[in-house]
Amino acid sequence: MGEKLKIAVMGASGRMGRMLIDTILDSDKADLIGVTERPGHDWIGHDLGEALGRPPMGVPVYGDPLDLIVKAQAIIDFTTPEATLAHAALTAQARCIHVIGTTGFSDQDIAALDAAARHATIIRAGNMSLGVNLLTRLAQQVAAALDEDFDIEIVEAHHKHKVDAPSGTALMLGEAAAAGRGIELASHSDRGRDGITGARTDGHIGFSAIRGGDIVGEHDVIFAGAGERIVLRHVASDRAIFARGALKAALWGQGKGPGHFSMASVLGLA
C-alpha cells in the first residue's frame, strides 16, 4: 500500500471536528498529523488524546494554523466562514488540499475561495453526504421535467445551535432545481416570508428553516402542483456521513492540482 495521506483537522472540538477525528483515526489511508482550535482555546498545546479525555495519541493541538498547514498534505475544515477564509489564504500558499464543509459564505467569500483555488486544491460542498449529492441530481431532473405550474419549496430542519440559514444543503438543492428549470436562483428566491407577503410568485423557489433540539439535518424539496405534490427528502441521522464524505474528498484530491471542485466531482455525479 502507498503512503498514507497526512491530514489535519481544523476546529477539532466542534461537532464535526470530533466526528472527523474518529473517521480519520479509523482509516488505513490517512494519518491524522495534527488539529487546530480557535486562538485562546484551552486544548491548544495539549495532546489531542489528553484533550478528549483519552489515552495520548501523539497528535498535537495547534493554535496557529500555519504551523500545521506547512506539515499537512490535506486539511479538512468545518469551522466558520471567517476561519475558513483565513485557512484558504494559507492552503493557497502551501498549495495543499483544502476540503471545506463550512457553510454560510457570502458571494464575496466565494470569490475569495475561487482566488485561493488558483493555487490550492479546494473541494467544497454544503453537504458532503452521498445521499444529498444524489438528491441534488434528482431535484434537477424533476425540476426540468415540470413547468411553473409546480411551485418549488425547500424546507430544512437542523439542531438549535446552527447559525446560518438557509442551510448550505438547502442552497445546493435550490441551485440544482434552478438549473433544472433554467433560471438563476439569486433572482428567483423567496426567503424569510413574514406578515402580509402577497401571493406566491410563480417560478420562484421558496426556502424555510426549522431550528430545534439535536436534529442532525433534514431536507425536503417539494414540488407542489394543483391536486398533487412530489416530495424529495433526505434525512441525516448520523454526522459520520459528512465526515466520511470529507475524508473521501481529501483522498480524491491527491494529484488533482489547483481548482475549486465540488462533491459531485468526487462522487462521479458531475
Ligand X SMILES: O=C(O)C1=N[C@H](C(=O)O)C[C@H](O)C1
Instruction: Look at residue 158 and give the partner it binds from ligand NDP, ligand X, none, a contact being a CB closer than 5 to 8 Å depending on partner kind.
Output: ligand X
Q: How far is the C-alpha of 34 from the C-alpha of 148, rounded, in Å?
A: 51
Q: Which three cell numbers stand for residue 122?
A: 479546494
Contact (CB, 8 A) for 188 and 133 = no
Q: Considering the rule CB under 6 A, would residue 244 count as an interface residue with ligand X? A: no
**Binding of ligand NDP at residue 133 (CB under 6 A)?**
no
**What's the grid cell of residue 177?**
432545481
- 41 contacts which partner out of ligand NDP, ligand X, none, CB within 5 to 8 A by kind? ligand NDP
For ligand NDP, the binding residue among 23, 27, 33, 36 (CB under 6 A) is 36
Q: CB 260 → ligand X: shortest distance, Å?
A: 18
The catalytically annotated residue of 98, 162, 248, 260 is: 162
Task: Check: CB of residue 30 under 8 Å from CB of residue 250.
Answer: yes
Q: In the window 95-114, what residues touch ligand NDP (CB under 6 A)? A: 101-104
**Rounded to 5 degrees, what are φ and ψ at 51?**
-60, -35
- Of 79-87, 116-124, 161-169, 205-213, the segment contacting ligand X by CB under 6 A is 161-169
According to the binding rule CB under 6 A, does residue 162 interact with ligand X?
Answer: yes
Cell of 14: 466542534
Residue 10 counted as an annotated binding residue: no
Maximum separation of any 2 CA atoms in the chain, in Å: 63
Query: Does residue 72 belong to the site contacting ligand NDP (CB under 6 A)?
Result: no
Q: Measured at the alpha carbon of residue 216, what is the angle toward residues 105 and 57, in degrees to the nearest 5?
A: 85
Q: Is 91 annotated as a binding residue?
A: no
Give yes or no: 87 in active site.
no
* Residue type at position 68: L
Q: Where are the alpha helices (DSSP H) in the chain?
A: 15-25, 48-51, 65-69, 81-94, 107-116, 130-145, 168-181, 240-252, 263-266
**Which of 59/171 has CB closer to ligand X?**
171
Active-site residue (options: 87, 158, 204, 219): 158
Q: 153 is written with which cell numbers?
A: 419549496
- Angle among Cα 149, 153, 154 to the nearest 5 degrees reads 150
Name the CA dihedral angle for 106, 24, 235, 179, rounded to a multiple of 10 degrees: 40
Site size with ligand X, rule: CB under 6 A: 9
Q: Is 133 annotated as a binding residue?
A: no
Respond yes or no: is residue 119 known to be catalytic. no
- What residues make contact with ligand X under the rule CB under 6 A? 103, 126-127, 158, 162, 167-169, 217
- What residues make contact with ligand NDP under the rule CB under 6 A? 10-11, 13-17, 36-38, 41, 78-80, 83, 101-104, 125-128, 168, 242
Annotated binding site for NAD(+): 11-16, 37, 101-103, 125-128
